[in-house]
Amino acid sequence: MAMGEAGPGRARHGSRPERLEETMRGRLGRECVYVPSCRFGLFVALRHWCPPGGRVLMSPVNDDVVFFVVLAAGLRPVQAPLNPLDASIDIDAVPDDVWGSLSAVLTTNLYGNPDPVPELRARCDALGIPLFEDAAHAIGSEAGGRPVGAWGDAAVFSLSKHAGAQAGGILSLADPDLGAGLREARDRLLTPRRVVSELAYGVRPYAEAAVRGPGMRRAARAGMRLLGLTERDGIRMPLRPDALARAVGSAPDLAAHDPWVRVDMHDYRLESGPLRLRRVRRRLGRLDEVLEASREGTELLLATRWARPREGSGVQPLFRVPLFVTDRDAAIAALARRGIVVGYLYDPPLDDYAGEAFTDLSPAPEGARWFARHALPVDPLRAREIVGVLERSGARPADPPGALTRRDGPPAGGAREPGPGGADGPVRPGPATASGPGPSRG
């Protein structure tokens, strides 16, 4: 549906979370609009700024939900070449004719590692196109001396990640005068709150705490599959190209893309009730403590032999720290035996996953393939445990991708050659029994 076609369309004065918006306004120095999820906020932003049929440069190492949100907004994803060591957009490797064809640029800031946003901001200004920052993983990261999310025309944050609220997001805006209009657009697209959903949200933390043992986790996962609540058997969700082609044909249309956009979060566009808002406020109030602990864990992990050297000074409070190992499946299994779950895997890259039917392919895909195959994103809050497990398991670091950074040779470090690709190409399954597909970007 186009913006405003559906949704209850009524004011929700009793549930508007002004305090959350004010808190994030203080962090970013920008107008902030509360949204029920990061993906929903991204859809609202794309529909406001981009004309249907526009082309959006984005990272191929990204959650597939983000890819489907771009399609739902009636836009054509364009996959960017990446720096293979942090999966940030490699600006210089994007051809000039691609730059000239774009309607917008969307950053990823994967795991909290910032994209080169000052340079992207300058490039977008020169082209007269908007810059969007996906800051789902980067609520505490900085770039160019400013917070991630303070560079784009709009930025989206997830409050399910560092804050751990399992609900909520923020859409931040460079132009404060747009706040009222985008709140109205948000309200038109929301679905009304449901008592059952609010109660399920309330008991979820207690249910999760009850199944933390490995045996119980397997039983819980099996039960969720029986109930139809688990929609991934591998890292990527099933593409279903024929059905997706029909949905794309009706875009911009969020409802038509709902089977893909809702995966891992069926209440992504649900109006937030008082219970959700109270929990989000409590979690956001403890955010600085979490960020400090994340920064300490990140520093420890970056000092290990599995990490790659970083440019610049200072340590970001990463949401996940990408280590690089030769046999990721074995490392994931070793961590799982200690109850450490590895999620947030994005393999294969989106262009190999979806093919030319749904996206423009990256002109230099090797960096993304190497990163997607070898990156082991681990939680910095469990840094010491993780280092111990990897040491005992004998995990070997992946060779530096020298050939990739030069772009004059085949994929290095044992990266796989691309499969058949395309909409009908096979998707490499992840080690679902060890890690599960992992939660999405929220």
Work out the burial of residue 156: count CB atoms within 10 Å of its CB; fewer than 13 is exposed, 13-18 middle, 19 or more buried: buried
Structure confidence at residue 230 (pLDDT)? 59
- How far from 425 is each of 141, 222, 350, 354, CA to CA, in Å? 36, 27, 12, 8
Rounded CA-CA distance 389/98 in Å is 44
Rounded CA-CA distance 312/145 in Å is 12
Q: How far apart are the first and last CA of the chain?
A: 21
Number of neighbours of residue 391 by Cβ within 10 angstroms? 12
Closest of 88, 99, 39 to residue 60, by C-alpha: 88
Structure confidence at residue 162 (pLDDT)? 92
Rounded CA-CA distance 348/397 in Å is 20
Residue with tokens 């946003």: 117
Structure confidence at residue 314 (pLDDT)? 77
* 381 secondary structure, DSSP code: G
Structure confidence at residue 256 (pLDDT)? 98
Ranges of the chain whose pLDDT falls below 70: 1-16, 194-230, 310-313, 403-441
List, in order, residues 6 or more apart from 332 with CB less than 8 Å away.
Answer: 342, 376, 431, 434, 435
Structure confidence at residue 218 (pLDDT)? 56
